[in-house]
Structure 1
Amino acid sequence: MVVRAPFLALAHGSISALCHSLLLENLWELFSQDLLKSAWGLMLLVQDGSESELKEQIAARFAEQPPAQRKLFFEHLHFFPLTSLLFNELSNLNDTIAELNQRLGCEGNYLFYPSEDLSTYLRIIHTLGLSRPPEVKGFRRILIELPMQQEVAPLRSANRELQEIFREEQIYRRVPGLSQPLLNQLLGLRFGNGIFEPLWNHHHIQYVEITVGQKQLQTPLQSQLPSSFAPQIAPALFQILAILAMEPPVLSRENALRNEMLKVFLSLRELDPSELSEIALRGVLPTNSLSGNLSESLIQSLKETYLAQRVYIDNGRWAGTPFYLRAGLGLPLDCLELVVHFHPISTRLFPEESAEPSHNSLWIRLLPEFALNLSLNRHAGGHSQRLSPLSLYGAGLSLPTQPTLRASSQTLLLDCLAGNPALFLRDDSVETLEKYFEPLKKSWQRPGNAPYFYLPGFWGPAEAESLFEDLHCRWRLPGQPAPEEDGF
């Protein structure tokens, strides 16, 4: 997918926030892959420093990139210092934006990006009258990085501010993790196979696992590590959960998909404060294991790098079926894997079975490449009365995907520029999820509720196995479809 419509992106914030913004990184990645086919520009509205300071920091950030490519990229960057926000300054800004739009041929297409201080940026946009949508030429969209708020009340306040200036269809709230290719694969598997629909419920499925792993703590262009990984990855985990668990959308339009996802979010069983320690935990990498890999300031800022949780969806399809979700940094590999475990059956026909045979399961790997494995049982052969595992395994399928989780932010930016909102959360979904997580966040803020430690290269804290106590099982090892000798 390439960007063919011209656009002018306007990012606002401090020097540090702009220099390390995900938008700047995404535009570099898309530019270096030659995916920006039309005229474009990025205007950086600096609120706390000079143009020269910001240029120096951006140049340092991209210092290791090819000089010729870096020079061409910098030609698309434009700077405007905002210090007083007085009439003359805003008038000059308005004239500069209009001149850039005409000179670059952006056709009135504006993408707004607040790297921090949303309220101030919205006042600037409103004062300049830049949010006027469709009746004027060009699109006007605002890209919001989630989570921007950690509490429900300020989140609702921020949503009200946004909706005073922008219509909901102009607001694109981005969460890391999912992309359009991944969404298409999930939807294709979930709703493109008639054999699944009659089995896709609590009558046939015992439990489901979802694992999102990231091996690296940083990418080459990411100089800041999120101190709280759990709140950042949780929305993506629950988006995946919603796609797996939702009812078939009655229409193909984006809102139909998001409506069904919202129904799943509304059906999440409320978190009981007295049971939080039994159904959710967080982990953190010990600081001594990170020495030499990260700066001391980044190490000391870490709060959590791992999240595991048991979730229930209280509706007719999934009543009583547990979903086990986990995500972490510093894990053995980059992965996005799902495992659907079906209920065991009686083995009275096979009395020689010394233990329970392998349960039927469907293993799906979406990252770093697509693969799946269906685990079955068959008669062991001969005159025995026992079962033998059988695996139907497929890998290396020529399906589009992304190599890492972080690459999803690029494709989401492409979706935003193309006006495809399917994977961006609406205000109702964001508020529902924040309300759901609020008891958990409050619990983690209390003294004595520290995260568990785990080492880099391991699949999180050993204590995460305790989430399975009711089922007497454990996490499936990612990256291991376990095709048996009798496999295809």
Structure 2
Amino acid sequence: MTSRTIPVSPFVLVVFGATGDLARRKLLPAMFHRDIAGQLPEAANIIGVSRGALEHDFTAQARQAILDHVPKAEVTEPALDSFLKRVSYVQAEADSDKGWAQLAERLAAYPDRIHVFYLATAPTLFGAICERLGRFGLAGENARVVVEKPIGKDLASARAVNEAVGKVFPEERVYRIDHYLGKEAVQNLLALRFANALFEPLWNAAHIDHVQITVAESLGVEGRADYYDNAGALRDMVQNHILQLLCLVAMEPPAKLDADAVRDEKLKVLRSLTPLNTDALCALNTVRGQYRAGASAGGAVSGYLEDLGADESSTETFVALKAEIGNWRWAGVPFYLRTGKRLPTRVSEIVITFRPIPHSVFDRAAGTIEPNRLVIRLQPDEGVRLFVMSKDPGPGGMRLRLVPLDMSFAAAFRVRNPDAYERLVLDVVRGNQTLFMRRDEVEAAWNWIDPILQVWATTSEPPKSYTAGTWGPSAAIALIERDGRTWVETVA
């Protein structure tokens, strides 16, 4: 699971969509970080591919991407110059044969290296790119393909994407990436559960009251309005990121920590989710919202319709769900999920709330005894906090309060916390699929999401409005409080 000690074989990383936002913000900086950490072998190269005529300018663009997205203290001119020697460019088109012979010729110079094809493009191009990779002889046994979300917009389209990719690449060489699974805190969840006798015996309905998963964004749709209005929060965040987090919390211990053993257990969770497939179930267990003008980061911000430049839209920018897992471990334990744009802060965390103690030996003057909570923070500062009841220091009797036992990864290990893409790309080179989604996982997630989308599509009720800078519509509060619980106040 770690990328620090396992050697990396010589490879060529071919990035389709190399001039796009993902390549600039994440992929090139990730590879630079691994280079200066000494993890890239000397025989490692990066080939950018896009339709523009940039052969002489792409290196300059790559340089600027590093300068823009890597802290200045980590960039030296010798290190940057050394990294850029690995970088080259081929002009080719995803939906025509233009440039593909040149790409094949370039890769022929590296016959013994692992070829990683990273499709940082629109999903509509995945099939066309894979078809040409096969037809131009680039999909041999040393080739692996990485596809980004979204994989489809529903079950039928996800199957179509998987079929198109699967015609060229066998499943063991397809890597469906979800960058949340590369985060240190997400992997540490496995260590907490399966390497500590303290937690695993309590990880069930007898001891856990409920689970909350929050993925909050303070930004609006920014430059993604066209994409987002055709997706919405349920497709964009819940179907992939949040359901993957739910799976890691809820899955049974795998027989061993290898790719298929872990993914088999996640698949069982997805197939055990109670369907929300009627108007009544969706009305009771789902809330969708859309932000309107408000305040964020100390300033006024516009509403979704203004950001979209439209008079109306039924697209949700906020979702809250109550999910239940129909198996022995989790029967009766609700999982409350929420995500949204223009919320008060950018934060992602998992909160496991344990059941209250059965009997208190303290008198009322000691104060309220609150349930223990385990909080796994994914961003912005990855770490784990265990909230326990403790005596308030000082004389004057027994006064109790909830205090955190805090472990910040940055403070505890005093090393830079690698970005998820640094780990995930090198895991592709190593052939380790543990942190990647299998085809049946993707389709099982859509199988649960599709009925919700279908119910929403038939309702005449628009998404509920919420003011930018708040925690979503009041109905989201009602969703959890009707069960006698409340959202844990989440602060950055």
Q: Which TM-score applies when normalising by structure 2?
A: 0.79
Q: Report whether the alignment pairs 1:113 with 2:118.
A: yes
> Among residues 239, 255, 261, which one is paired with 2:260 in the alignment?
255
Gap change, CA 1:257 and 1:151, over 3 Å in 2: same
Q: What residue number does 2:137 align with?
A: 129
Once the 2 structures are TM-superposed, how far is the Cα of residue 8 of structure 1 from its aligned partner? 3.1
Distance 2:472 2:174 in 1: 35
**Hey, what does 2:12 align to over in structure 1?**
8
Specify the SS of the correspondent of 2:181. coil
Match of 1:315? 327
Matched, 1:417 2:418: no
C-alpha distance in 1 between matches for 2:27 and 2:366: 58
CA displacement 1:98-151 (0-9 Å, x = unmatched)? 442355x57342222341322222221221122121xxxxx3111111223112
Structure 2 residue aligned with 1:28:
28
- Counterpart for residue 249 of structure 2: 244
Matched, 1:277 2:283: yes
- For 2:139 and 2:471, locate their aligned partners in 1 and report how far apart those are by CA, in whole Å: 45
The equivalent residue for 1:152 is: 155
2 CA distance for matches of 1:54 and 1:148?
Answer: 33
Matched, 1:78 2:89: yes
* Alpha-carbon distance in structure 2 between the residues aligned to 1:54 and 1:277: 56
Contact 2:351/2:373 (8 A) holds in 1: yes
Between stretches 35-44 and 196-205, larger displacement belongs to 35-44
DSSP-derived class of the 1:25 partner: helix
Give 2:341's aligned residue: 329
Contact 2:48/2:88, CA 8 A, preserved across alignment: yes
Q: Which residue of 2 aligns with 1:267?
A: 272
Distance 2:34 2:420 in 1: 17
Maintained 8 Å contact 2:289/2:473: yes
What is the aligned partner in structure 2 of residue 190 from structure 1? 193
| Aligned counterparts, 1:392-411, within 5 A | 392-396=404-408, 397-399=411-413, 407-411=419-423
1:231 to 2:235 alignment:
yes
How many residue pairs get matched? 456
The CA deviation at 1:414 is 3.2
Per-residue CA deviation, residues 227-258 of structure 1 (Å, 9 max, x unaligned), is 13431221111111111111111112121111
Kept after mapping to 2: 8 A contact 1:177/1:233: no
Task: Please state how far the C-alpha of 1:216 moved relative to its aligned partner.
Answer: 4.0
Normalised TM-score (structure 1):
0.79
Corresponding position of 1:300: 309
Q: Distance in 2 between matches of 1:346 and 1:281?
A: 33
The whole-number CA distance in structure 2 between the counterparts of 1:158 and 1:53 is 30
Q: Which runs of 5+ in 2 are unaligned?
A: 69-74
Q: CA deviation at 1:470?
A: 3.7
Amino acid in structure 2 at the alignment position of 1:389 = R
1:51 deviates by 1.5
CA distance in 2, matches of 1:459, 1:351: 35
* 2-structure distance, mates of 1:76, 1:297: 40
1:154 positional shift: 2.3
Paired AA for residue 309 in structure 1 = L
**CA 1:377/1:188 → structure 2, altered by over 3 Å: closer, same or farther?**
same
Higher mean alpha-carbon deviation, 33-42 vs 464-473, is at: 33-42
Equivalent position amino acid for 2:248 in 1: I
- The aligned counterpart of 1:93 is 100
Q: Deviations over 1:206-244 (max 9, x none)?
A: 1111222334458xxx95465134312211111111111
Q: 1:173 to 1:83 in 2, by over 3 A?
A: closer
Instruction: Give the Å deviation of 1:440.
Output: 1.2
Q: After superposition, what is the alpha-carbon deviation per residue over 1:9-44, rounded to whole angstroms, capped at 9, x for unaligned?
A: 4445xxxx6532524532321244353554312241
User: How far did 1:62 drift?
Assistant: 4.8
Kindly, what percent of the aligned residue pairs are identical?
26
Distance of aligned partners of 1:298 and 1:108 in 2 relative to their CA distance in 1, 3 Å threshold = farther
